[in-house]
Amino acid sequence: MSLPFFSSPGAAGPQLPVAMAHRGFSYDGLENSMAAFRAAVELGYRYLETDVHTTADGVVLVLHDDTLDRVTDGTGRVANLTAAEVARARIDGREPIPTFDDLVTGLPGVRLNVDVKDWNSVRSLAAAIERHQAHSRVLVTSFSDRRRRAVLKLLSRPVASSAGVVTVGLFTVLGRVLPGPVFRLVLRRILRDVHALQVPVRYGAVEVVTPGFVRRAHALGLVVHVWTVNDPEEMRWLLQLGVDGLVTDRADLLRDVLQERGEWPDPEVS
């Protein structure tokens, strides 16, 4: 994959698996806080997975939920609140909710896998990426392919992007029933602006990540990132299967697994 976002070289040159800290790294409820993001970076992480919502006055926040209620001591829908109102809330009663600007400028060497959670964030996220010229540092994803594509259309330069749920579903189902040449012909058009498939190991009763899934993705030049993997044995199995990256809540355990495999990045290699 030629886009800079995916470049993860080791000391000897070969591409390493991409390790992503899911909403940063925190044992005690500080997801999507600067404290959690810094904790992951201190472990050696180069990639952070996060989410964005936008306030009523157009400020992009790093937050998974559309309300403040679950993770903060505040209440209300983000889209109905101003940035000043949101700034009074604290994650787990302790940490402020970061803005996208805070994250981009506060951790300048880190790459960000950004899940666009709402339509209100399409224009504001695109504007923030342009403002910071962060095109090489971000991967734009969303469960909604329409929302993801809407962001891409507003950008002046290409960015990495991951397929939405409908596209992943088509890839998974058609890959099992169509002959290889037909499958590749059909999917190339559908995947014209997709560089990664970011998927769970299974969705309900359906096993998503299989040797065939990984093989078909690689044949189309796509990388496979699997979320959210917290068990070391499952991490080892997926890496052996040939997936290109893992997203985890347990950044400490994934680092240990990659270190034992000799696949943890050298801090001197960018």
Cα separation, 172 vs 176, in Å, equals 7
- Beta strand 90-91 with 95-96 is antiparallel
Measured CA angle at 162 (ends 32, 43), to 5 deg: 40
Catalytic residues: 22, 64
Radius of gyration in angstroms for the set of CA atoms belonging to the chain, rounded to a whole number: 18
CB 219 within 8 A of CB 178: no
